[in-house]
Amino acid sequence: MTQRNAKLTLAALALVCTLPVAASYLAYYVWQPTGKVNYGELIGPAPLPEAQLAGIAGQPAVRRAELNGRWMLLYVGPGDCDAACEHALYASRQSRLAQGEDMTRVGRLWVVTDDAVPSPRVLADHDGLRVARGDPAWAAALPAANEGGGLILVDPLGNAMMRFPPLADIKLVIKDLQRLLKYSPLGRGES
């Protein structure tokens, strides 16, 4: 091999090794993607308030530690369930059921923020829904609760991390939840 061929081989090898690094820097700093994949709005992550939630409608109190270990679809709102509330509870139920074998990794909680008692008809439609009463201070300390009454997704570590709009598109909520469960090992092994 001639000295010229050796230099060309070395230059080609150096180019092949440095090109991916240079391309990654360009992609990260120059051509940043503008779109997003998720439907829900990422928030926080912000830990849920530590206070215990009082039991309601014959259900036991909910301690903060009980919310850890599973993904949680949380709805915070009054006990008199209006159309937006019913849609949020329906969206949480359908999103959980659509996860198939991973649905055991997802829980549902409705935190009632007033003195009203949820109607037995609403509770009968939502088997497995935990219902608890949170005082106004708890609701005020919850990040994103004051933003319009949609669902809040809480991770298995107890952090509110995503908010869905009121009257959310259920198919898109399902898709976000499927993506999270697919790529996150958190919440596995809990039933």
Model confidence over 124-154: pLDDT tens digits? 999 889 999 987 777 777 766 555 678 999 9
What is the pLDDT confidence band of residue 1, given thresholds at 50, 70 and 90?
low
Fold of 41-183: Glutaredoxin (3.40.30)
Model confidence over 73-108: pLDDT tens digits? 999 888 888 899 999 999 999 999 999 999 999 999
Residue-level pLDDT at 189: 61
User: Nearest Cα to 110, choosing from 95, 125, 88?
Assistant: 88
Domain ranges of the chain: 1-35, 41-183
- Joined together, the tokens standing for residue 175 give 């898709």
